[in-house]
Amino acid sequence: MTGYDAGDPAARTPSGEPVDGDAVTGRLGPRPPRIDPPTGSIGGRPAGFGPAGGFTSHRAPTSFPPGPISAGPASGGGTGSFPASGATGSFPASGATGSFPASGGTGSFPPFAAQPPAPRRGVLAPLALILAVLLLAVVVLQTFMLMGLNDKYDRLRSDMKAERTAAEEQTRGLEDRTKELERRAGNTLDTQAVATKVLPSVFRVTSSVGIGTGFGFGKETPEGGTYVITNYHVIDKVWTSGQRQVTLEQQNRRFTGTIVKVDENADLALLTSTEKFPPLTAATEPAKPGLPVVVVGSPLGLEDTVTSGVVSALRTTAQGPVLQFDAPVNPGNSGGPVVNAQGQVVGVVNAKINNAEGISLGIPVAVVCETFGIC
């Protein structure tokens, strides 16, 4: 087919002249060219494209304003299946109103504009995400580490508490054993050590009527001297005669002793000396049967005589409590100290049973403290 039909009178009629047989009047210019269905293919597409096997013509849109419409050959002067630029067809040309206005050219759809390149995604967002993930991982790891440390701390604290409890129990056990050992050691008598400690405090008491023994004891006198304990029956004749002076002898040394107080019923006498001697002290616990003891005195005038034994019994008589022990004593031992393994005084010798062996008697130290109040 060609761009124009040669048999069409309008195609051969100059512009501005009426066309015979045309019902349209007042139109300037020829009719729009008729487009017959194509007989071939376009752009390699097969024939019959479209609803009716090709393109179909349409009436010009009513929105066109009246005016001349010129027809001319196709662009380039050749023939083809599309009308020339400015001819009407299925879609209005540029500037005409319709459903899809042309954009810079003719055709069914406006040409595609060049798309700008997609913007490059910034590196900060992925980096921030990675850092957030790493931070979360670090927080989780530290949380697990802290939980583990807390568990270790709790176990360590429990172990330390158990060890402390065990150590305290062990310490108490050691203290109990120490006390027991001390008690046993107290019952284990070292006679030589005890004698060495006691002898500097023991004297031979000499008067015009007899010989006995005395020892420094208790606190010092108000004048700064020493109190001396002996039996009443050692100095009774001096006391009843009105005299108050006796002689205290120790290793060829002589000192003057003054009788200041006596208790005839308890068989005790209290002397003082202006000299300062190391005093003995009272035992912290009362004597019990089986307690080892040492006796120091001047039997028959033999000063610094040491004998040893054990406490046999504690007895009560009409004259008061009596300490019975088996260490040998003889006349001259009266008034001497009976001491335990620590050198503490538990009694004062005052008698023995004649015609018997190992039955010696003494006055408990508690009676001395109660009588004179110098402990």
The pLDDT tens digits of the residues spanning 107-148 come to 455 555 566 666 556 778 888 888 899 999 999 998 988 888
Going by pLDDT thresholds of 50, 70 and 90, the confidence category of residue 356 is: confident
More confident residue, 279 or 98: 279
Q: How many CB atoms lie within 10 A of CB 280?
A: 23
Checking if the pLDDT of 9 tops 80, the result is no
Compute the average pLDDT of residues 48-69. Answer: 47
275 is a domain residue:
yes
- 53 belongs to a structural domain: yes
Please report the pLDDT score of residue 56 as a whole number.
47
Picking from 55, 88, 121, the residue at the C-terminal end of a domain is: 88
Is 294 among the domain residues?
Answer: yes
Phi, psi of 243 (to 5 degrees): -80, 160
- CATH number of the domain that 359 lies in? 2.40.10.120
Q: Which residue has the tokens 């003494």?
A: 362
260 belongs to a structural domain: yes
Residue 44 has a pLDDT of 45
- State which of 25, 56, 88 marks the end of a domain: 88
229 and 361 in a single domain? The answer is yes
The DSSP H or E segment spanning 177 is: helix 124-187
pLDDT score, position 32: 59
Pull the structure tokens for residue 329: 């004593």
54: Cα separation from own chain's centroid: 94
| pLDDT digit string, tens, across residues 191-210 | 999 999 999 999 999 988 88
Write down the pLDDT at residue 197: 95
Average the pLDDT over 153-182 and give the result. Answer: 87
Q: Are residues 83 and 213 in the same domain?
A: no
DSSP helix/strand/coil, 86: coil
Out of 39-48, 244-253, 299-308, least confident range: 39-48
**Cα(346)–Cα(340) distance, integer angstroms:** 7
Which residue, 206, 218, 219, is CA-closest to 249? Answer: 206
Task: Give a yes or no: residue 147 inside a domain.
Answer: no
Calpha distance 124→329 (Å, rounded): 111
Residues 255 and 245: their CA atoms lie apart, in Å, by 10
Least confident of 110-114, 159-163, 266-270, 355-359: 110-114
Nearest to 306 by CA among 322, 323, 281, 329: 329
Decide if pLDDT at 37 tops 90: no
Determine, yes or no, domain membership for 112: no
Provide the pLDDT for residue 178: 84
Do residues 298 and 212 lie in contact, with contact meaning Cβ atoms separated by under 8 Å? yes
According to DSSP, the β-strands at 245-250 and 253-263 are antiparallel
Query: CA–CA separation, 129 vs 211, rounded Å?
Result: 112
Model confidence at 324: pLDDT above 60: yes
At residue 207, the pLDDT reads: 86
Give the pLDDT band (50/70/90) at residue 333.
very high
Confidence of residue 53 (pLDDT cuts 50, 70, 90): very low
Q: Which amino acid is at 86?
A: G
In a domain, 297, yes or no: yes
Question: Are residues 217 and 360 located together in one domain of the fold?
Answer: yes
> Could you tell me the two tokens for 100?
């899809």
On whether both 198 and 71 belong to a single domain, the answer is no
Q: How many CA atoms lie within 13 A of 34 on its CB side?
A: 10
Q: Are residues 208 and 79 in the same domain?
A: no
Threshold 0.75, pTM exceeds: no
The pLDDT, as a whole number, for residue 81 is 44
- Answer yes or no: is pLDDT of 306 > 60: yes
Residue 135 belongs to some domain of the structure: no
Most confident of 53-57, 141-145, 173-177, 311-315: 311-315
Question: CA 47, CA 35: separation in Å to the nearest integer?
Answer: 16
pLDDT of residue 337: 97
Question: What integer best gives the mean pLDDT of the chain?
Answer: 78
Q: Which of 44, 72, 88 is the last residue of a domain?
A: 88
End-to-end CA distance of the chain: 157
Please check the confidence at residue 181 and state whether its pLDDT lies above 70: yes
Q: Give the structural domain span for 313.
A: 191-372
Length of the chain: 375
Q: Are residues 208 and 357 in the same domain?
A: yes
Q: What is the pLDDT of residue 144?
A: 87
The pLDDT score that the predictor gives to residue 326 is: 95
CA 269, CA 257: separation in Å to the nearest integer?
12
Angstrom distance (rounded) from CA 329 to CA 312: 14
Residue 321 has pLDDT above 70, yes or no: yes
317, β-bridge pairs: 320
Question: 77-91, 142-156, 249-263 — which is least confidently predicted?
Answer: 77-91
Confidence (pLDDT) at 343 = 94
Structural domain count of the chain: 2
Whether 210 and 343 share a structural domain: yes
